[in-house]
Amino acid sequence: NQMSSCLATDRLASSTPYVIFLAVKAILCYVALCLLILHLKIHGVRWLAHSNSMIVFAAYLGCNVTVAAAYGFVYSIDSLRLWLGGPCALIDFRLIFLLRGVGSIAIRTQIIYAFVLSLERFYSSLFPIEFECCKCVALSVAAVVVSLFISTTIIVGVFVPLADFSSLVPTTNLIQGKTGDGYQTMIYFEIGMEVAAIVMFHLG
């Protein structure tokens, strides 16, 4: 098994276009990270006016920053190990799970935040006066925390029981062996939340 993993890694390392592709992806992630930080510095979230919206949207942007940073690190490590790691440059799955897991949690959390914002928009269209008068910061904070908890539970629940954390793997991918089935389940959840957010947004 390790022999086949080494062969797969060596094939990837010998592909210069693939290594360059990974490096470009890393650079794009860092560019996105810088642009997000610049956007936050210039515009912030005060333009939303309502405190509840500001809290959730700030958390949404925070997830975007986390995704850009986490995946930037993943692609940097991947390109550098294939370029400089020598033969059989396998990588510890625990490191992959840490970085991609954080990124995956942030991606799923921002989808839930989008759904929360669409619900807020829907409520404000039905009850505009009540919405403007309501400044329930605790509710928005609770929504942010619960959304993060749900995403973390999904990622941990899907991957931890199936993953082999003692393994050395050829790619920086969460789909390793048995984790593929769990990943498919997670994709269904993600699509469902995105569709729900779009529907609620347009209803508002």
Q: Which residue has the tokens 């850009």?
A: 68
- Each residue of 114-154: pLDDT tens digit? 888 888 877 777 777 776 677 778 888 898 999 999 999 98
Q: Is the pLDDT of residue 31 over 80?
A: yes
Which is more confident, 184 or 73?
A: 73
Q: Hey, which residues does 91 pair with through a beta bridge? A: 169
* Count of domains forming the chain: 1
Give the pLDDT confidence score for residue 177 in this predicted structure.
67
Report the alpha-carbon distance of residue 83 to residue 66 in Å, rounded: 26
Report the alpha-carbon distance of residue 204 to residue 198 in Å, rounded: 10
48: domain CATH number is 1.20.1070.10
By residue range, what is the domain housing residue 188?
2-203
Q: Hey, which residues does 168 pair with through a beta bridge? A: 92
- Each residue of 45-98: pLDDT tens digit? 776 666 777 888 889 999 999 999 999 999 999 999 998 877 888 888 889 888
Q: Which residues contact 158 (CB under 8 A, 6 or more apart)?
A: 179, 182, 183, 185, 186
pTM, whole model, 2 decimals? Answer: 0.83
